[in-house]
Structure 1
Amino acid sequence: MSETHATVNPGAPVFPPGRYGRRREPGRRRPVLRALLVVALLAALGLGAAKLYSQYGDPDYRAEVITYTGITDSRVLVDFRVTVPPGGSATCLLRARAHDGAEVGHSEVTVTAGPGRRHVTARHEVPTTARPFIGEVLRCRPAG
């Protein structure tokens, strides 16, 4: 006997028997499979991030200001130390700022470590357009 409008709840679709196969159970999910896929995706993203950081990150180039001296109306001498890979070289950007924080001069300098050495100590004069208050190293990157 086929279903009629009198035996079916209003709003429910009516399908001919045997025509569309067996219907799936509602609410049947696979949480373990979904969790494994999320874990695999996160692991792949983590490995990709680690590879890119090791390839393009430059944690070996660190600079620190030792002192800044020789302050006049037109210059400041900056003594700084740079950590580089053994025997490597770095290009550092030095900056001089006035008392109000405005940049009054900057200079780029390349330093090279001796064979087998990782630390370079250098002194560089930064020319300025006004009297500086401080001399600093903004960043160092591989020379080239």
Structure 2
Amino acid sequence: MTETHATTGTDAPVFPPGRYGRRRQPGRRRPLLVALLAVALVAALGVVSLRLYQQYGDPTYRAEVITYTEITDEQVLVDFRVTVPEGGRAVCVLRARDRAGAQVGLEQVTVTASPGQRHVTTRHRLATSGRAFIGEVLRCRPAA
């Protein structure tokens, strides 16, 4: 009695012709398309990182909240310190939030350093639309 083998010697399956559509050749790749997609991704990430740096990342203009006091339903008094280049000016964005985290006040404040001064301490009364829980400085950037 002889043995019959149901499979052929190759590892690829054999399908009846015209039954399952057109088969792709294995290993066919498009290196140009992959390279173009990689370049586009790197460019998009570069644009996003540049935008975020311009908005949040300038270390020359740094702010820190010292304290926030006199909290009422209409205001909060924010004391903060800004580091700017000597004699420079900065525009800082102040925000007040309520206990739930909702924004109840937002203002832009211009801070000017005297000649030879790098650190400016400022007190600003921030108007609010409800009772604030916290006063904070979001960011500072060069004044135009």
TM class by shorter-chain length? 0.5 to 0.7
Flag structure 1 segments of 5+ consecutive residues without an equivalent. 1-51
Structure 2 Cα separation of the partners of residues 98 and 90 of structure 1: 26
Equivalent residues in 2 for 1:12-51, closer than 5 Å: none
Partner AA of 1:88 in structure 2: G
Please, what TM-score do these two structures have when normalized by structure 1? Answer: 0.60
Structure 2 Cα separation of the partners of residues 61 and 143 of structure 1: 10
Match of 2:34 in 1: none
Percent identical residues: 71
Structure 2 Cα separation of the partners of residues 58 and 117 of structure 1: 18
Partner AA of 2:84 in structure 1: V
SS class of match (1:99): coil
Structure 1 Cα separation of the partners of residues 90 and 72 of structure 2: 27
In the comparison of the two structures, how many residue pairs are matched? 90
Partner AA of 1:66 in structure 2: I
Partner AA of 2:81 in structure 1: R
Q: Which runs of 4+ in 1 moved over 4 A?
A: none
What is the aligned-residue RMSD (CA, Å)? Answer: 1.3
Structure 2 Cα separation of the partners of residues 107 and 76 of structure 1: 12
Equivalent residues in 2 for 1:1-144, closer than 5 Å: 58-144=58-144
Give, in angstroms, the shift of residue 58 of structure 1.
2.3
1:49-69 superposed Cα distances (whole Å, 9 cap, x missing partner): xxx8xxx66210000000000
Give, in angstroms, the shift of residue 129 of structure 1.
0.5
Structure number with larger C-alpha Rg:
1
Structure 2 Cα separation of the partners of residues 58 and 133 of structure 1: 28
Flag structure 2 segments of 5+ consecutive residues without an equivalent. 1-49
Please, what TM-score do these two structures have when normalized by structure 2? Answer: 0.60
SS class of match (1:96): strand
